[in-house]
Structure 1
Amino acid sequence: MRLTVAPAFFVLLFGATAPALADDPIDCAEQNTTVEMNFCADEDFKASDAKLNAAYKKVLAQIAGGDLEKPYDRESWDKALRESQRAWVAFRDADCKGLVPVEWSGGTGTTSAVLGCMTAKTDARTKEFAERYNLD
């Protein structure tokens, strides 16, 4: 009888507190758990990715405004940039999502390390676009 009561007690106890914990906002200035670190690393990556996408759109707009002769015309330049960006994303993902987890041996910090790698590379690419194309 005790065995059936004890598990029910813990389910009620932890089940009743879980929603309250889930509603607590995560303070990325004070990360204490792996879940918090992963959440904050994901938020950082999302912000970084949004900046890269904005920069990429600005570069595409600059290209659309130019008019040179082949092979440096708008169409060729646009195609080259798109191919370069696809290759860059493939490299970033292979390095960060493929190599980093192996380096971490699947430990608890793996997700944060992967997201940190992706954020760093994405920030660098955004900076590269800003410098190459004189973005504001």
Structure 2
Amino acid sequence: MPRLALKYRMILLFAGLASLTFAHPAAAETIDCANAMATVELNFCADKEYQAADKALNAEYALALKSVRSRTLERPYDAKSAEDALKTAQRAWIAYRDADCKGVVAQVWTNGTGATSAILMCMTDKTQQRTKELNAQFQEN
């Protein structure tokens, strides 16, 4: 009997999560991020801000790649070498950001109610900073 009860609890849990997923778009329209107070609202707003920062970073990274691909210098400063170096650096930066925010910050919050927002804010801050770095380093003068 305990296995059966666990099975039904799991079904109810997944059904509840599914209903939240489908209700999310309508509920999102009513969240005022300037006045968010509840944990769910804070998490939603933090995620929304992170998604915007990530989108800006991806656009800036694409511009940086375009810039290095236009190089006409010889090896080891040619376009291919510069592109490889930038890709390697970006992958390493993503690993650092994720390890610091999802690892260290999560440990600081010990899975408290503010952990998700804190992690997302960390990721947003680091992502915005990286966007500025790429812009400063590769912008056209």
* Structure-1-length-normalised TM-score: 0.81
Q: Aligned pairs, how many?
A: 118
Number of the residue aligned with 2:58: 53
Greater helix share, 1 or 2? 2
CA distance in 2, matches of 1:94, 1:107: 18
| Residues 97 and 68 (structure 1), Cα distance of their counterparts in 2 relative to 1, 3 Å cut | same
Please tell me the residue identity of whatever aligns with 1:108.
Answer: T
Name the CA shift for 1:23/1:52 in 2 (closer, same or farther; >3 Å). closer
Computing the radius of gyration over CA atoms, which structure comes out larger, 1 or 2? 1
1:113 aligns with 2:118: yes
Structure 1 segment 96-135 matched on structure 2, within 5 A: 96-134=101-139
Distance in 2 (alpha carbons) for counterparts of 1:58 and 1:86:
16
Which 4+ residue blocks in structure 1 deviate beyond 2 angstroms? 21-24
SS at match of 1:108: coil
How much does 1:132 deviate? Answer: 1.0
Runs of at least 5 residues in structure 2 that lack an aligned partner in the other structure: 1-19
Residues 13-56 of structure 1, C-alpha deviations (whole Å, 9 max, x = no match) = xxxxx97x847521101101000000000000000000000000
Change (3 A) 1:23 1:70: closer
CA distance in 2, matches of 1:109, 1:121: 18
Structure 1 unmatched runs, 5+: 1-17
8 Å contact from structure 1 (residues 58, 135) kept in 2: no
Alignment match, 1:88: 93
Letter of the structure 2 residue corresponding to residue 105 of structure 1: T
Matched, 1:37 2:42: yes
Report the Cα offset of residue 134 of structure 1.
2.3
Please report how far the alpha carbon of residue 100 of structure 1 lies from its aligned counterpart in structure 2 after TM superposition: 0.5
Provide the TM-score with structure 2 as the length reference: 0.79
Question: Matched residues in 2 for 1:24 and 1:47: separation?
Answer: 17
> What is the percentage of aligned positions where both structures have the same residue?
49
C-alpha displacement at 1:135, in angstroms?
5.5
